[in-house]
Amino acid sequence: MDSSKAITVSGLSKAYRISRSENRPTRATEAVVDRLRHPFRREEFEVFEALSNIDFEVPFGEAVGIIGRNGAGKSTLLKILTRITAPTTGRIELGGRVGSLLEVGTGFHPELTGRENIYLNGTLLGMRRHEIRRRFDEIVEFSGVSKFLDTPVKRYSSGMYVRLAFSVAAHLETEILAIDEVLAVGDAEFKNKSLAKMRDVAKDGRTVLYVSHQMATVTALCTSALYLSAGRLEYSGPVDGALELYRNSFESFAESTRIAHRRPGTGELRAADVRVSEASFTSTEDKVVEVDIPANCSMVGSYFVSCHINDANGVVITKCDSRLVEMWFDPSEDQRIRLTLTGLWLRPGRYTVDVFICKMGVLDAWEAAAAFEVLPELPYPESFNDEAVSGALVLSDFTYERGAS
């Protein structure tokens, strides 16, 4: 292995066998009876390839972002690199120990206290007790959970757990640090502190692997990036190139859903077009969405429209339902509906718009009908609430306008 490389991956693939059997028994007794009745029946499987023929190298001191849509294989790749799961084929060479924080709930023993888990993690990484003791105070101070250090971690909130787990992973002296999207659980102050710590780790000559859907943090932290799509490595290089591919993937998905018969709903009415006034906004600017809906004179009764704004994780940030402003629409007329969102301060990143046309049930459900980007704008207004857009539903001021298309 090249001594300048922290990670070398060659021909890496990971496949899973998925049962194709329908009407499989769901209870143990049913499974036993079924096996006795059909002792020679062979269960059918299909192969799902989570990763396919991945090759890349990462030098020491590099902070690498790993990005892609949900299901692209990002977390699977990290689990293989951290030896949580084994590859199906391929070769991995690591230039040192790996510290990781992949999922809330992994890495710590729930019955042990925070103090005991710090020593347990260090021991598993091959560190001596005096080495752990030397970093112990730093870990505790950074995590901010000193009052609960002798409490079993099963009683920690998800935020407390992540703070301690990240602090352990970042401060124990491993050559490679792998972080998944779990920092989304923490508050804004801790996220900023964690990003600063990861920068320091990279400056010290250690290697950082960072999986995230938050493009602003990838840009701020990483010096290069990998872009995965459907288990394949489509790009390895400067961050800007990976971000461009990631953004384009949203347009491709939106375009694929423009064919009306592929969309859920009864089809009595279908939106013909959905547009956002600008491809990008600053956080404080009004966002305007326009929806064109052709008439259906045979339909009886008015309908309403609901627009959902989703973040890059697919989390619904806000819902704008025309019923809330007592606006219904006449199906006998062509409609151009204009939705203006005001006071919705979103963090920098990529967002999609879902449009639902409803009456008693759903007439049309157009997911990712349009997309837009929020650009960095510092400083944020004093009343900007980072927690409100990190996964919780927020209520935006909005107005609907009716006009002929």
**The predicted structure's pLDDT at residue 391:** 38
DSSP 200-222: HHHHTT-EEEEE-S-HHHHHHH-
pLDDT at 382: 39
- Tens-digit pLDDT profile for residues 329-361: 999 899 999 988 887 778 888 888 999 999 888
More confident residue, 182 or 352: 352
Q: How far from 128 is each of 82, 116, 118, 184, CA to CA, in Å?
A: 20, 14, 12, 32
Looking at residue 19, what is its pLDDT? 65
Question: Does the pLDDT value for residue 105 go beyond 60?
Answer: no
370's tokens: 């349009």
Q: What is the DSSP letter of 199?
A: H
Query: Could you give the dihedral angle defined by the CA atoms of residues 225, 228, 233 and 235, in that order, rounded to the nearest 10 degrees?
Result: -40
Q: What 3-state DSSP class applies to 287? A: strand
Mean pLDDT, rounded, for 27-44: 69
pLDDT of residue 112: 93
Band (80; pLDDT cuts 50, 70, 90): very high
Give the pLDDT confidence score for residue 209 in this predicted structure. Answer: 92
Q: What is the pLDDT of residue 198?
A: 83
Give CA–CA dist 143/119, Å, rounded: 15
Output the pLDDT for position 51.
Answer: 93
pLDDT band for 11, please (50, 70, 90 cuts).
Answer: very high
What does the pLDDT average to over 141-161? 89
Res 26: pLDDT = 58
Residue predicted with more confidence, 127 or 327: 327
Q: What is the average per-residue pLDDT within 169-196? A: 76
What percent of the chain has pLDDT above 70?
81
**Given this model, what pLDDT does residue 42 score?**
67
pLDDT band at 384 (very low <50, low <70, confident <90, very high): very low
pTM of the entire predicted model = 0.61
Q: Is the pLDDT at 189 greater than 80, yes or no?
A: no
Question: In the CATH hierarchy, which fold is given to the domain comprising 5-250?
Answer: Rossmann fold (3.40.50)
Residue 313 clears pLDDT 70, i.e. is over it = no
- Residue range 136-159: average pLDDT? 90
CA distance 11 to 95: 18
- Percentage of residues in the chain having pLDDT higher than 90: 26
> Does position 225 have pLDDT exceeding 90, yes or no?
yes
Query: Could you tell me which residues are beta bridge partners of residue 350?
Result: 373
Q: For residue 379, say if its preceding peptide bond is cis, omega within 30 degrees of 0.
A: yes
- Show the CA angle centred on residue 280, arms to residues 214 and 392, nearest 5°: 45
State the average pLDDT for the chain.
Answer: 81
Asked whether the predicted pLDDT for residue 13 surpasses 90, the reply is yes
What's residue 41's pLDDT? Answer: 67
Q: At 289, give phi and psi (nearest 5°).
A: -120, 130
Q: What is the pLDDT of residue 378?
A: 43
How far are the Cα atoms of 42, 86, 172, 343 from residue 126, in angstroms, in the given order?
Answer: 44, 20, 10, 51
pLDDT at 389 over 50: no
- The top-level CATH class assigned to 260-403 is mainly beta
Q: Is the pLDDT of residue 315 over 80?
A: no
pLDDT of residue 71: 80
- Per-domain boundaries in the chain: 5-250, 260-403
* The pLDDT of residue 110 is above 70: yes
Tell me: the pLDDT tens digits for 233-278?
999 999 999 988 887 776 666 565 565 656 788 888 999 989 888 7
